[in-house]
Amino acid sequence: MADETNGQSREQVKLERRAFLTVLVVVTLLFLFLLKPFFGAIFWACIIGLIFHPLHRRFLKLWGPRPNLAALATLMVCMVIGIIPLVFVVGSFFQEGAGLYQRLESGDLDLGSRVEQIRDAFPTARRLLEGLNFDLNMAKDQLSKAALTASRYITQHAVQIGQGTIQFFVSLGLMLYVAFFMLRDGRKLIDLLVRALPLGDEREHLLFDKFAEVARATVKGNLVVAASQGALGGIIFWILGIPGALLWGVVMAVLSLIPVVGAALIWGPVAIYLFAIGEWVQGLILAGFGAGVIGLVDNILRPILVGRDTKLPDYIVLLSTLGGFILFGMSGFVIGPLIAALFVAFWEIFMREFNAPQTSIPKDASVADEAHVDEQG
């Protein structure tokens, strides 16, 4: 009778535990769904907390145990060196994009004639493309439509930004508000997650350290490379008198977040166009500067700032970055490598702990051990 009662109580405990875990998963998913509209603000607040955590610790050492003041000072530094310049550059970018759209729509800028100039300047390439049944006229029309669509898109978003200024500043304020608590209470939150997750404290600390390491390396490295390539590209365009230097500089900065190709997608075609219209000196300067300076920044800084710290192969960084862009938009250049790094970290833990090579015991040694046990028995 006692065994039956114990068995029923054990089954009751199992049932209650399963029910609780089911409700826990459902409530957690509902909470995450509730936070979905603020995913971008929360994600970048966490990134700010990770990147500026060393600065926050320095302020704590300097001013003593004043976490609120240290977090506030850290946020001020973040705004001065990052957010305010970014807002200025984005505003200028949309202004130049709106100007480009007006020029395209009015006919002041005719991309079709520019394509004709390139086609006439390279007759061999034209004959090769015609031999491959490549319709240059269709490509010309598609290019003009694409440029008009892109510039219209920029103009419409410029209007939306002007109309949605309140929404923009609310999102910015929410991000800074959450970042304040990430800086002040970040260590406590990590300790709380370590207690809550059932993965083992050692594994959890390893995964959190890997997450922080990859996030810092990806953001700092990619942003430094993007800012450097965009600035260099915009400067050389301005020196050569190419219209929309700031616009193309921002576009090159964004494209440089994609490893390998990046800014060359902009300066390469522009250099070809300069050759086509007979501007050989400008074309050579742009091609040489693009390959020798802009490209060198990517080849030198990215492996040092991104690849070395993330400890991921270049091809995984490339594929995860592209996949992140496709799935998550602009935030994907961070989310993609983060997911790849966690994937690699989980498999390393699995191989080390669950699939370790079995060391074989020599036959003589096992017999000797058995004899020793028999003697002791």
Contact 265, 277 (CB under 8 A): no
Same domain, 56 and 176: yes
Long-range CB contacts (within 8 A, 24+) of 36-41: 38/174, 40/171, 40/175, 40/331, 41/171, 41/174, 41/175, 41/178
Q: Which residue has the tokens 């430094």?
A: 224
Same domain, 243 and 140: no
Same domain, 116 and 158: yes
Does residue 84 lie within any of the structural domains? yes
Same domain, 112 and 152: yes
Same domain, 215 and 112: no
Final residue before a domain boundary, out of 153, 184, 215:
184
* Number of domains the chain contains: 2
Long-range CB contacts (within 8 A, 24+) of 150-159: 151/97, 151/98, 151/100, 151/101, 151/104, 152/101, 154/93, 154/94, 154/97, 154/98, 154/100, 154/101, 155/94, 155/97, 155/98, 155/101, 157/94, 158/94, 158/95, 158/97, 158/98
Average per-residue pLDDT for the chain: 75
- Assess whether pLDDT exceeds 80 at residue 56: yes
Same domain, 230 and 173: no
Q: What angle do CA 259, 264, 268 make, to 5 degrees?
A: 165
| Cβ contacts of 48 within 8 Å, gap of 6 or more | 75, 78, 175, 179, 182, 183
CA 208 to chain centre: 18
Does residue 365 lie within any of the structural domains? no
Does residue 370 lie within any of the structural domains? no
Tokens of 190: 């990590």
CA–CA separation, 203 and 348 (whole Å):
11
Same domain, 161 and 219: no
pLDDT at 30: 94
Mean pLDDT to the nearest integer, 87-94: 67
pLDDT at 126: 54
Same domain, 162 and 208: no
**Greater pLDDT, 377 or 177:** 177
Same domain, 250 and 177: no
- Assess whether pLDDT exceeds 50 at residue 286: yes
Q: Give residue-wise pLDDT tens across range 240-269.
A: 888 778 778 888 888 887 766 678 888 888
**Greater pLDDT, 48 or 95:** 48
Does residue 371 lie within any of the structural domains? no
Q: Give residue-wise pLDDT tens across range 180-208.
A: 999 888 888 888 888 888 877 788 888 88
Same domain, 224 and 306: yes
Mean pLDDT to the nearest integer, 102-110: 58
Does residue 363 lie within any of the structural domains? no
pLDDT confidence band for 215 (50 / 70 / 90): confident
Same domain, 139 and 237: no
**Greater pLDDT, 273 or 347:** 347
Q: Which of 26-30, 106-110, 282-286 has the lowest mean pLDDT?
A: 106-110
| Cβ contacts of 231 within 8 Å, gap of 6 or more | 249, 253
CA 124 to chain centre: 41
Final residue before a domain boundary, out of 159, 184, 209:
184
Does residue 165 lie within any of the structural domains? yes
Mean pLDDT to the nearest integer, 130-135: 52
Contact 331, 319 (CB under 8 A): no
Mean pLDDT to the nearest integer, 222-229: 84
Tokens of 267: 């300066």
pLDDT at 22: 92
Does residue 146 lie within any of the structural domains? yes
pLDDT at 23: 92
Does residue 60 lie within any of the structural domains? yes
Tokens of 63: 């001013």
CA 361 to chain centre: 49
Whether the full predicted model's pTM is greater than 0.85, yes or no, is no
Domain that holds residue 118: 38-184
Contact 334, 320 (CB under 8 A): no
SS3 255: helix
CA–CA separation, 73 and 80 (whole Å):
11
Q: Which of 112-116, 263-267, 278-282, 303-307 has the lowest mean pLDDT?
A: 112-116
pLDDT at 367: 41
Number of H helices, E strands in the chain: 18, 0
CA–CA separation, 78 and 67 (whole Å):
16
pLDDT at 254: 80
Final residue before a domain boundary, out of 158, 184, 210:
184
Length of the chain: 377
pLDDT at 221: 79
Same domain, 265 and 344: yes
pLDDT at 321: 82
What are the angstrom distances between the C-alpha of 34 and each of 29, 31, 37, 46, 110? 9, 5, 7, 18, 48
Q: Give residue-wise pLDDT tens across range 325-363.
A: 888 877 888 888 888 888 888 888 888 887 755 544 444
